[in-house]
Structure 1
Amino acid sequence: MYKSLLFVAAAVALASAHDDIEVTRAIAILKADGVSGNVTFTREADGQIRIGGRIVGMKPGMYGFHVHEKGDLSNGCASTLGHFNPNGNDHGHPHDENRHVGDLGNIEFDSTQTADLDFVDHLIKLNGRHNIIGRAVVLHSMADDYGRTDHPDSKKTGNAGGRVACGVIGIMDYTLPKSNAASTSSASVVVALTFYTFVAALMC
């Protein structure tokens, strides 16, 4: 039993030394009644995030598409709360300076009830303050008006209607920064061995 405890302690210490990973790709899987699809988020060389994927099951037209604050689906899409908005801005168009970080505008479904996604966004990120990992992507029932109408919900939600489908954004791929790889590896071993020695001393 003591050996198991020591192994777990060392593993925890080792894992904690890798907190500086850089996420390079993420994915969300959407599924609801009649609607399903995958959405990927890939970091481009210039730092922008490319949103790709395919969603099927909506009638032809434009529909609001946003990143919401919480990756909590315990009460369906309702528990994802509002749009991800760490800067306290009004709702807007993806190209507006004054917008929620999670404002990704509209996606279009064609005559086959399919939306093929392929566009970039400069504000969402996979690391740092605007990190969307662990949050949720939500597909709405109406078109986003980009905060440009007189409707009372326009500057809050784009008056995009109810939430049709949603999915939690999870890590798909990541890298360890090259500049820190060697030092992190060494630090991991030192931390793990130090923790192992400390616990072993307590067991004696």
Structure 2
Amino acid sequence: MRSLILAAGFIVLATGAMAQSKATAELKDTSGNVVGTLTLTDTPSETVLITGELSGLPEGVHGFHIHEYGRCEPNFDAAGGHFAPDGHDHGVMALHGPHGGDLPNLHVSADGKAVVEIFSEEIEVKPGDDESVLGGQGTAFIIHADPDDYTSQPTGNAGGRIACGVITPAS
């Protein structure tokens, strides 16, 4: 009986140690309409998985980034520049890139919908890590009007900001 109780205790400890950190963001367009919710999950491989569904967006290819401040005021400029805790340049095509805020372009279909399923090794969800999207003044997702060219500094020439969502710890 004693070994069974000890074994159960180890299972509880092991399960707790494997708990994944999660965060979410509700994105809204410039008119305040909700366009979707994204979830960020730390994985056992130390890669963050970003998932969700978006709707009500303009058809086409749009730059998609994590920005340095968790603020989405009217024109979304309050979100600041791209989240770059490691100091790397913008873009996967840049010699000293990418930085934490660099994500692949979003491809929005004619019906205004996009499915998001992205992996990132440049960010963390768990608080306290320098690359955590939950540290400091927070962070926010931004969807841009134009595609990111993955090269131009500092923003990839992605144009204006058409949607924003503050990243917060999942409850």
- Give the TM interval when normalised to the shorter protein: 0.7 to 0.9
**SS of aligned partner of 2:81:** coil
Aligned residues: 146
Distance in 1 (alpha carbons) for counterparts of 2:89 and 2:80? 16
Which letter maps to 2:98? R
Larger radius of gyration: 1
Structure 1: distance between partners of 2:133 and 2:95: 19
Would you say the 8 A contact 1:54–1:117 is kept in 2? yes
TM superposition shift of 1:105: 2.3
Structure 2 matches for 1:182-193, cutoff 5 A? none
- How far the C-alpha of 1:38 sits from its partner, in A, is 0.6
Q: List gaps (5 residues or longer) in structure 2.
A: 1-18
- Which residue among 24, 27, 39 is the counterpart of 2:24? 27
By how many angstroms is 1:73 displaced?
Answer: 2.6
Is 1:136–2:140 an aligned residue pair? yes
SS at match of 1:103: coil
Superposed CA RMSD: 2.1
User: TM-score, structure 2 length as denominator?
Assistant: 0.78
SS at match of 2:124: coil
The alignment's TM-score, normalised by the length of structure 1, stands at 0.66
2:158 counterpart (157, 160, 184): 160
CA distance in 1, matches of 2:28, 2:93: 25
Q: Which residues of structure 1 form unaligned runs of 5+?
A: 1-21, 148-153, 174-204
Determine whether 1:48 maps to 2:57: no
Q: 1:51 to 1:96 in 2, by over 3 A?
A: farther
Contact 1:94 1:105 in 2 (8 A): no
CA distance in 1, matches of 2:140, 2:74: 13
Are residue 69 (structure 1) and residue 68 (structure 2) matched? yes
More helix by share: 1
Report the Cα distance in structure 1 between the residues aligned to 2:83 and 2:54, rounded to whole angstroms.
Answer: 21
Which residue identity lines up with residue 26 of structure 1 in the other structure?
A
Q: Cα deviation per residue 1:147-166 (whole Å; 9 max; x = unaligned)?
A: 1xxxxxx1210000000010
- Alignment check: 8 A CA contact 1:93 1:104 kept: no
State how far apart, in whole Å, the 1-side matches of 2:91 and 2:121 are: 14
| Distance in 1 of aligned mates of 2:50 and 2:114 | 12
